[in-house]
Amino acid sequence: MFLFWINYFLICVIFYLIGSIPFAYIVIKKKYNINIVEAGSGNSGAMNAYDVTKSKLTGFLVFLLDFLKGLLPSLLLLYGLKFSMMINIAPLIFLVLGHNFSIWLKFKGGRGLSTSAGIYSAFNILFVFIWLIIYFISYLIKRNVHIGSTIATVLLPVFPIIFRDELVVLNYNYTLNSGYMEFFIMFSCLISLVILTKHIEPLIIYFKKTK
């Protein structure tokens, strides 16, 4: 049992380090010789990569790399190691924490959306589609990406409750453990909080401007 927890701790550290890989910084620095954490919003993510470079291809490349950074480790954890959902929570959260607070960027990073989308796609791609629908509806109403992201992220833990029957059947025939949905909702709450921590500042700026 002691050996299991040592290995579990190492998995969490590895997932954090994987999440910390600053693809936006690497791509923008190599291609444009720009330090993305000192340009635009200072956010090391796909949106700021696009804003800084005005290149849709560059923005999409950063999104794809950050998405895969969430998807591939999650697939390994869920369908390779096959832990219970309770055990899965910490490594998956550390993936997003690594992206948002990268050790390689002095704990700066992105906002966690692309990496989280990769993680949820490992469970069921419908989560991502529902999130996008709510995001676009919110964006069309307020015309602000941060408002749209915040509303969709706040509602993220509600998805498995409302769409339980549709979403309980996961990709790749993942076997449900006892108490799975309760722990999945807990996971969704935690990942939402991690994402929202990086939206506080832009929301404050937005509401100050609208006063």
Half-sphere exposure (CA, 13 Å, Cβ side) for 121?
A: 17
pLDDT score of 153: 87
Domain coordinates of the chain in residue numbers?
14-210
In residues, how long is the chain? 211
pLDDT score of 172: 45
pLDDT score of 182: 81
pLDDT score of 130: 87
pLDDT score of 8: 95
Q: Which residues of the chain have pLDDT under 70?
A: 164-179, 203, 206-211
pLDDT score of 165: 62
pLDDT score of 2: 80
Give the phi and the psi of residue 61 in degrees, each rounded to 5. Answer: -60, -45
Note whether 124 and 74 are within 8 A (CB). Answer: no
